[in-house]
Amino acid sequence: MKLTKAVITAASPDHRTLPIQTLVDRDGSPRSVLEILIREIHSTGIEDVCLIIHPGDADAYRQAIADTPVRLNFVEQHERLGYGHALSLAADFTAGEPFFHAVSDHLFISQDSEHSCAQQLIEMARAEDCAVSGVQSTRETEIQHYGAIAGNLQRAASGESIYLIKDVIEKPTPTEAEQKLIVPGLRAGRYLTFFGMHVLTPLVMEMLTERVGAAKASGESIQLSPVLSDLSRREQYAAIQIQGDRHDISLKYGLVHAQLALALAGSEREEILRDLLDIVARSRR
């Protein structure tokens, strides 16, 4: 699979300022959340990135990623027809090619010292030559925030574990998950939910475009998960557990958690741990 393009969705009116917030990166440099994500994408060899943004936000985004090493394209979402609609606006950019996709309100930190989260995903997609989504084991009390999958555990050609997806449900309830999303090998009360990054095939963009045409007349919101569920029935679609952590910065204290995670993954880990212990000790006085 040849993969040269990436699409980042950042058009949500509620979350549009989150990607341009500044954090201290693992190397001690101040960078926006978006710049950290784009640097990770660039580490995979991808050099063309399309950002789906809220109207009028292009200048703010350019300033937040002024030192980016990739070629940037901006597309504005003028109609609020959902996440799937936002992604479909990159159809001209992807031009019938497979593409990497990530959300902009997550920060991703790899536990693999040699491969970023994006590298793990893209290497598997290239090896398997199919759409692959990153997933993470998630407690049932948190699954209402994410899309979740059902699938069968297999061995990839590389010998790594991979799940062949057979269904996708957006933000399931615990009861729905228990009935439809059991995955062999996971502990009770845990499910595989989307990590926030995918490698998608041209068929995904085709299906999204078809749904947009039908939904505009009705005003229906278009989501990605139902399209991915259909994808699992039309072509091979897999998932891998990413060796890393996602940090949803849209949640309460999400930026604080993301900053702590970056600091603890950097060279000043021991100093940060001492400072945290000191803060906890002083808060108990």
In three-state form (DSSP H/G/I as H, E/B as E, the rest C), the secondary structure along 69-113 is CCEEEEEECCCCCCHHHHHHCCHHHHCCCCEEEEECCEEEEECCC
The pLDDT tens digits for 18-41 are: 999 999 999 999 999 999 999 999
Q: What is the largest CA-CA distance in the chain?
A: 61
CA distance 74 to 61: 9
How much of the chain, in percent, has pLDDT values that exceed 70? 99
Half-sphere CA count of 46, side-chain side, radius 13 A: 29
What pLDDT sits at residue 285?
67
Give per-residue pLDDT as tens, 36-60: 999 999 999 999 999 999 999 999 9
Question: Which residues sit opposite 102 in a β-bridge?
Answer: 8, 197
Give the mean pLDDT of 121-135: 95
Q: How wide is the angle at C-alpha 242 spanned by C-alphas 160 and 234, nearest 5°?
A: 75
Residues with Cβ within 8 Å of 34's Cβ and at least 6 positions away in sequence, in order, are: 8, 10, 19, 20, 61, 64, 65, 104
pLDDT one-digit tens code per residue, 168-179? 999 999 999 999
Q: Please tell me the predicted confidence (pLDDT) of residue 87.
A: 97
Mean pLDDT for all residues in the chain: 92
Note the pLDDT tens digit of each residue in 203-246.
999 999 998 877 776 778 899 999 999 999 999 999 999 999 99
* pLDDT band for position 62 (cuts 50, 70, 90): very high
* Average pLDDT for 121-126: 95
Please give the single-letter amino acid code of residue 106: H
Other beta carbons within 10 angstroms of residue 61's beta carbon come to 23
Tell me the per-residue pLDDT of 132-173, one tens digit each, with 9 for 90 and over.
999 999 999 999 989 999 999 888 777 788 999 999 999 999
pLDDT value of position 103: 95
Architecture of domain 5-283: Alpha-Beta Complex (3.90)
SS3 134: strand
Q: What element of type H or E holds 160?
A: none
Residue 8's nearest CA partner among 94, 128, 125, 115 is: 94
Whether this prediction's pTM lies above 0.75 is answered by yes
Name the residue ranges covered by the structural domains of the chain.
Answer: 5-283
CB-CB neighbours of 13 under 10 Å: 10
Contact, 21 vs 256, CB < 8 A?
no
| Mean pLDDT on 241-260 | 94
For residues 265 and 262, what is the distance between their CA atoms, to the nearest angstrom? 5
Amino acid at 56: G
Q: C-alpha angle with apex 115: 110 to 120, nearest 5 degrees?
A: 85
Residue 151's contacts (CB-CB under 8 Å, 6 or more residues apart) are 163, 164, 165, 166, 167, 183, 192, 238, 239
Q: What per-residue confidence (pLDDT) applies to 127?
A: 92
Over the range 259-277, which residues count as b (16 or more CB within 10 Å of their CB) and which as e? bebbbebeeeeeebeeeee
